[in-house]
């Protein structure tokens, strides 16, 4: 597997070509349609860090998603480097347009798992947020089923919270 990362401000037309063609061919919510995504990324200020991640296998895209990056603070003391799937992580911008029926689009029928997702993203993360998951699409369907999604013996079961 290989991955290509596109900054939303520098690669708008590449992102449009990738997202509009690839995601339109699979089941997805309105919140992941090109109409919604185009308006969302066009309205974001330059200081918001969001990138499009496209994972390839044998030269074909198999998974596509946006990751927003934002530092989280808890009780004004604890800091965490957090990433947000298909949102910015900046609640000033996310709350008015809160995503519903969120998913990580799987472009081809494959065995891509949440464990694969965590292992392939090339960021040093402390927290990853998957807001507003659609329980019928990946990865929401994993949480709904109660399936153990990490193969490590020390892993725990996780519960998803839909908004």
Question: Residue 71 belongs to a domain with what CATH number?
Answer: 3.40.630
Residue 122 belongs to a domain: yes
Residue 2 structure tokens? 């290989």
The Cα–Cα gap between 51 and 22 comes to 17
Residues 31-43: what's their mean pLDDT?
Answer: 90
Residue 128, by phi and psi: left (phi above 0), alpha (psi -120 to 50) or beta? beta
Range(s) of the domain holding residue 12: 2-145
Residue 162 belongs to a domain: no
Strand ranges (E), the chain = 2-7, 49-57, 60-74, 78-85, 127-129
Residue 156 structure tokens? 């725990």
Q: What is the pLDDT, as a whole number, of residue 29?
A: 87
pLDDT for 156 beyond 60 = no
Q: Please give the share of the chain, as a percent, with pLDDT higher than 90.
A: 18
pTM reported for the whole predicted model: 0.82
Residue 154 belongs to a domain: no
Residue 157 belongs to a domain: no
Residue 95 belongs to a domain: yes
Q: Please give the share of the chain, as a percent, with pLDDT higher than 70.
A: 87
């Amino acid at each position: 597997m290989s991955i290509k990362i596109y900054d939303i401000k520098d690669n708008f037309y590449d992102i449009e070509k990738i997202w509009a063609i690839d995601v339109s061919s699979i089941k997805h919510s309105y919140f992941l349609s090109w109409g919604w995504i185009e308006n969302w990324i066009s309205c974001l200020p330059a200081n918001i860090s969001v990138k499009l991640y496209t994972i390839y296998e044998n030269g074909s895209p198999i998974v596509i998603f946006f990751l927003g990056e934002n530092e989280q603070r808890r009780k004004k003391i604890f800091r965490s480097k957090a990433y947000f799937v298909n949102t910015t992580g900046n609640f000033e911008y996310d709350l008015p347009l809160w995503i519903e029926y969120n998913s990580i689009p799987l472009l081809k029928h494959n065995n891509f798992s949440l464990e694969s997702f965590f292992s392939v993203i090339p960021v040093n993360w402390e927290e990853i947020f998957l807001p507003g998951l659609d329980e019928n699409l990946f990865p929401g369907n994993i949480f709904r089923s109660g399936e153990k999604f990490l193969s490590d013996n020390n892993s725990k079961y996780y519960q998803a919270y839909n908004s």
